[in-house]
Structures are given as structure tokens and as C-alpha cells.
């Protein structure tokens, strides 16, 4: 009986894990260029506006937590500034990644 249960569970896992392979139609070059431009613009925007995270996080934390937000908010702001700047920089540098699909 146990072997039957294990066999059924194994079969169900195989059904869930495996997925059918679908042929993907290639995208037109205009769509790829649009994705690249969007990714570059988003990265540059994140780098340019990352310094706004410091006052934003401070205000939000003070609003949500009261006086303790004056201590925690700037720390969160510094962390989010670094995170947003780093992610934006990486995105601005690797925006050509969308073009790799056509090669």
C-alpha cells in the first residue's frame, strides 16, 4: 500500500515539475528596442532620484512609528538610497540584455 502511495506522489510531482515546451516566436526588433529603452530609462531614473529615498523614508517612518522614526527613518533612507542607486546603476549598465534574445 505504501509503495502505491509513493508511486502516485512521484507521478504527481513529475506532472507538476515538468512543463510542456512551447516554441517561442521571436519578437520584432522594435519591441526589443522598446524594452531596452525602457530599461535604460528606468535605471537612469532610479540613479537620479535615489537621494530622495532619505527624506521619504524618514517622513514615512515618523508618520508610521512616531518619534522613534527620527532615528530609524534616516537609517532606512540610507539603506534604500544605496539599494535604489545600485539597482538603477546595474539596470542602466546591462540594458543591452534585452538585445541578447535576438542573437
pLDDT in tens, 28-49: 888 888 889 999 999 999 999 9
pTM above 0.75, yes or no: no
Taking alpha carbons only, the member of 84, 85, 99 closest to residue 35 is 99
Give percent above pLDDT 90 in the chain: 55
With a cut of 60, say whether residue 23 has pLDDT above it: no
Q: Which residues touch 74 (CB under 8 Å, ≥6 apart)?
A: 54, 57, 58
Give pairs for 67-76: CB < 8 Å, separation 24+.
none
**∠ at Cα 61 (60, 63), nearest 5°?**
65
> 102: pLDDT confidence band, cut at 50, 70 and 90?
low
- Decide: residue 57, CB within 10 A, 0-12 exposed, 13-18 middle, 19+ buried: buried
Q: Residue 85: its pLDDT value, please? A: 96
Amino acid at each position: 500500500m505504501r509503495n502505491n502511495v509513493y508511486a502516485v506522489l512521484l507521478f504527481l510531482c513529475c506532472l507538476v515539475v515538468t512543463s510542456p515546451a512551447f516554441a517561442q516566436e521571436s519578437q520584432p526588433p522594435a519591441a526589443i528596442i522598446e524594452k531596452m529603452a525602457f530599461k535604460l530609462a528606468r535605471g537612469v531614473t532610479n540613479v537620479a532620484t535615489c537621494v530622495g529615498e532619505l527624506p521619504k523614508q524618514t517622513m514615512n517612518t515618523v508618520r508610521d512609528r512616531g518619534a522613534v522614526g527620527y532615528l530609524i527613518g534616516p537609517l532606512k533612507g540610507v539603506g534604500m538610497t544605496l539599494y535604489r542607486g545600485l539597482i538603477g546603476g546595474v539596470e542602466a549598465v546591462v540594458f543591452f540584455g534585452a538585445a541578447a534574445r535576438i542573437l
